[in-house]
Amino acid sequence: MTFLGWLTIFLFVSLLTVVALPLGSYMAAVYTGERTILDPVFRVPERWLYKVMRVNPEQGQDWKQYAKSLIIFSLVGWLMLYFILRSQTLWDFTGLNPMHYHSAPWNVTFNTTSSFMTNTNWQYYGGETTMSYFSQMAGLTVQNWLSAGVGIVVAVALVRGIVSRSGQSIGNFWQDMIRTILYVLAPLSIVYALVLVFQGSIQNFSSYLTVHGITGISQTLAMGPVASQEAIKLLGTNGGGFFNTNSAHPFENPTGFTNFLEMLSVLIIPGALVFMYGKMAGNRRQGYAIYTTMMIMFLGAVIVAYIAEAHGSPAQHAAGLHTGVISGSTGGNMEGKEQRFGIAGSALFDVITTVTSCGAVNSAIESFTGIGGAVPFANLSASEVIFGGVGTGLYSILMYVILAVFLGGLMVGRTPEYLGKKIEGREIKLVSLAILITPLTALFCTAVATASRSARALSISANAKGGPQGFSETFYSYLSQANNNGSAFAGYTGFIQPNSGNLGSHGITLADLLGGFDMVFARYAPILFALAVAGALAGKRISPAGLGTMRTDNPTFVVLLIGVIILVGALTFFPALLLGPIVQGLTTHLYN
């Protein structure tokens, strides 16, 4: 551990808060229809889109109509993406398939399509060996925008349901979607993509280049429109890399500066949404309380991960390496990490990407130490409530807030109320379902995969992992897909990295299909329950706060909320976690 490492973490947290606060106010203006500074730019395209798409933005939707529009829009998007990916060679006339890659087989494409539609971006393919530039742009990048939009609008709709004073309407899905893309994602993404190129990311349509090295060894340089996809991949907490090694690849993440920027860009929208919520609720302290809750859990994870990684791994020590700080090297577990990011920049990135639904990685999570690797597990077990995905984080933690209010109400013996609205049986049933569906799906899929010969972690390469590592791989795979995260203990089988020049990727059908189901079900079921909660709360009268009303904007509530999150997460996942990462963290034993 170094002073600069801790300083990076401190500066990151400070800067995030400073940037997220004004962005939150801006987003509140976007969703309440107030004038924003970008109105002069986007007003015209916004109206044009309403006209072309035949949308009447004035028309409010109740939760069922809102959900129907959302589901149909997602379904059509799924079909479009599946079509583009499966017909890859059909688009060769655009000149955007310089390597003449054929489509991946149907099972891999099913998984990939479900993955990008659900904001997961789990990848059973290697980008630079499978996808044409056209598929990356018109297919995958587009879903990066749309799936981020879907997450955000659900959060906005839920907030409207909580704060609305009358009626059934929770907004208009089409209006929310278009305004999200134009007013929030587009300006950030365009500026950010250009900054990335300025710092060294690539953005071109050339064929792959052949290098003749100075010692006579040749090398192939993959090219492509990387920065444009990288920007929205991080801002939208998508995480699907242009290249197989994702944000570890120097063309995606060239410097220590871009690494810092990439980490920031993942969390600014999830952070801003929390502040937006406080503003829309008419009480900024509600937002601050939730932000504090998230930040405490986030910092806990970062500190543990950084200390664990700086310590080094049992395998390193067994091989005789010295893992302490020496002059000119920070030491630590550099296995699967890049020199320019170092230990702190890798550990921090790892926590950021697993608390959100981003899943982009700048280091190999599988090569983290036992405890360092248990941190992403714990983050995923908290079900996207520590900042979480764009939108997903806010609506998920609001489910926990309502649950905490209910438990608090039971403790003091009063009818639970949240922001003046009574929390009753119907809401609690829906909230419980929303909270439990993700862990249940993850555990179910892990069980099926572990019980089947073909989907159990059987490593394809020579470094087959037995013991807890194999179980960790399998478990992490389905946990990550259920939480729509997409990061991986990437040794997990299911796809075989094709040799360069070998077109398409090969999949294991069960892993592809099970994963696809895992992602879609664990994404849309909670969305439906969250919208149903919005609908149930929208019509309720607001009663003024009295003396005995439990406050939800003070430190006591923050403690209660953290307790509920840890309790639910721990109770659901602890037995499974014990079998994998915790065993590895507790022992220096080396497994075959």
Partner 1 sequence: MKRDLITSAIGIVVLTLLFGIVYPLFITGVSQVAFPGNANGQQVYVGGKLVGSKIIGQNFADLVYKNGKVEMSDGEPVTTPDPHYFQTRPSGTVPADNDAATEFENYGPNSVVTKAALEANIAAYIALDKAPNGTPYYPGGLTAAKVPVDAADTSASGVDPEISIANADIQAYRIAAVRRLSLSTVHQLISKYTLGRGLGFSGEPGVDVLEINLALNRLSPSTS
Residues 6+ apart with CB under 8 A from 550: 405, 408, 409, 412, 414, 416, 417, 557
Instruction: Map the footprint of partner 1 across residues 418-447, applying CB under 8 A.
Output: none
Q: Report whether 132 contacts 97 (CB < 8 A).
A: yes
**According to CB under 8 A, which residues from 546 to 585 bind partner 1?**
584
Pick one of 233, 337, 421, 540: the residue that binds partner 1 (CB under 8 A).
Answer: 337
Q: Among residues 18, 210, 413, 575, which is the contact residue for partner 1, using CB under 8 A?
A: 210
Report in angstroms how near the CB of residue 486 gets to partner 1 at its nearest: 15
Among 293, 369, 477, 572, binds partner 1 (CB under 8 A): 369
Does 60 interact with partner 1 (rule: CB under 8 A)? no
Lookup: tokens for 75: 């379904």
- Considering only residues 216 through 275, tell me which ones interact with partner 1, judged by CB under 8 A: 216-217, 219-223, 225, 227-229, 232, 243-245, 248-251, 254-260
Alpha-carbon dihedral sign for residues 359, 447, 127, 465: positive
Interacting positions 80-99 with partner 1 (CB under 8 A): 80
Shortest Cβ distance from residue 225 to partner 1 (Å)?
5
The answer to whether the beta carbons of residues 291 and 385 sit under 8 Å apart is: no
Contact set for partner 1, span 307-336 (CB under 8 A): 312-316, 318-323, 326-336
E strands, 224-320, are: none
Q: Least separation, in Å, of the C-beta of 57 and partner 1?
A: 12
> Which one, 274 or 490, has the nearer CB to partner 1?
490
116-135 positions binding partner 1, by CB under 8 A: 126, 128-129
Work out whether strand 417-418 and strand 421-422 pair parallel, antiparallel, or are unpaired: antiparallel
Kindly state the smallest distance separating residue 301's Cβ from partner 1, in Å: 18
Q: Binding residue for partner 1 (CB under 8 A) from 366, 512, 518, 553?
A: 366
Under the binding rule (CB under 8 A), the answer on residue 67 touching partner 1 is no
- What's the closest the beta carbon of residue 205 comes to partner 1, in angstroms? 7
Beta strand pairing status for 495-496 and 421-422? unpaired
- Closest by CA position to 528, among listed 434, 457, 453, 438: 434
Residue placing its CB nearer to partner 1 in the complex, 165 or 212? 212
List, in order, residues 6 or more apart from 148 with CB less than 8 Å away.
119, 180, 185, 232, 235, 236, 237, 238, 269, 390, 391
When the beta carbons of 60 and 256 are compared against partner 1, the nearer one is 256
Q: Is 301 in the site for partner 1 (CB under 8 A)?
A: no
Closest approach, Cβ 351 to partner 1, in A, equals 15
Of 100-108, 211-219, 430-438, 517-525: span binding partner 1 (CB under 8 A): 211-219
The rounded distance, in Å, linking the Cα atoms of 297 and 383 is: 13
> Nearer Cβ to partner 1, position 58 or 210?
210
**Radius of gyration (C-alpha) of the chain in whole angstroms:** 23
Strand ranges (E), 430-526: 495-496, 506-507
Question: In the range 170-209, which residues lie near partner 1 by CB under 8 A?
Answer: 174, 177, 181, 189-190, 193-194, 197-206, 208-209
Which residues within the stretch 377-416 sit at the binding site for partner 1 (CB under 8 A)? none
Asked if 359 touches partner 1 (CB under 8 A), the answer is no
What is the phi/psi pair of residue 38, to 5°?
-95, 5
Q: Which of 278, 389, 491, 507 binds partner 1 (CB under 8 A)?
A: 491
144-163 positions binding partner 1, by CB under 8 A? 145-146
User: From the CB of 45, what's the least distance to partner 1, in Å?
Assistant: 9
Nearer to partner 1, 339 or 547 (CB): 339
Instruction: Kindly write out the interface string for residues 445-484 of this chain, putting x where it contacts partner 1 by CB under 8 A and - elsewhere.
Output: ----------------xxxxx-xxx---------------
For the bound state, the minimum distance from the C-beta of residue 282 to partner 1, rounded and expressed in Å, comes to: 32
What's the closest the beta carbon of residue 565 comes to partner 1, in angstroms? 27
Of residues 14 through 33, those in contact with partner 1 by CB under 8 A are none
Nearest to 373 by CA among 566, 587, 591, 581: 581
H or E element at residue 68: helix 63-86
State how far the Cα of 445 lies from the Cα of 517, in Å rounded to an integer.
9
410, 545, 578, 590: which one contacts partner 1 (CB under 8 A)?
590
CB 171 within 8 A of CB 157: yes
Shortest Å distance, C-beta 24 to partner 1? 24
Please state, in angstroms and as integers, the Cα–Cα distance from residue 199 to each residue in 196, 203, 245, 260, following that order: 5, 12, 19, 12
Of 527, 587, 561, which is closest to residue 404 (Cα–Cα)?
561
Instruction: With H, G, I as helix, E, B as strand and everything else as coil, classify residue 167.
Output: coil
- How far CA 395 is from CA of 17, 153, 157, 273, 356, in Å, comes to 20, 10, 9, 10, 13
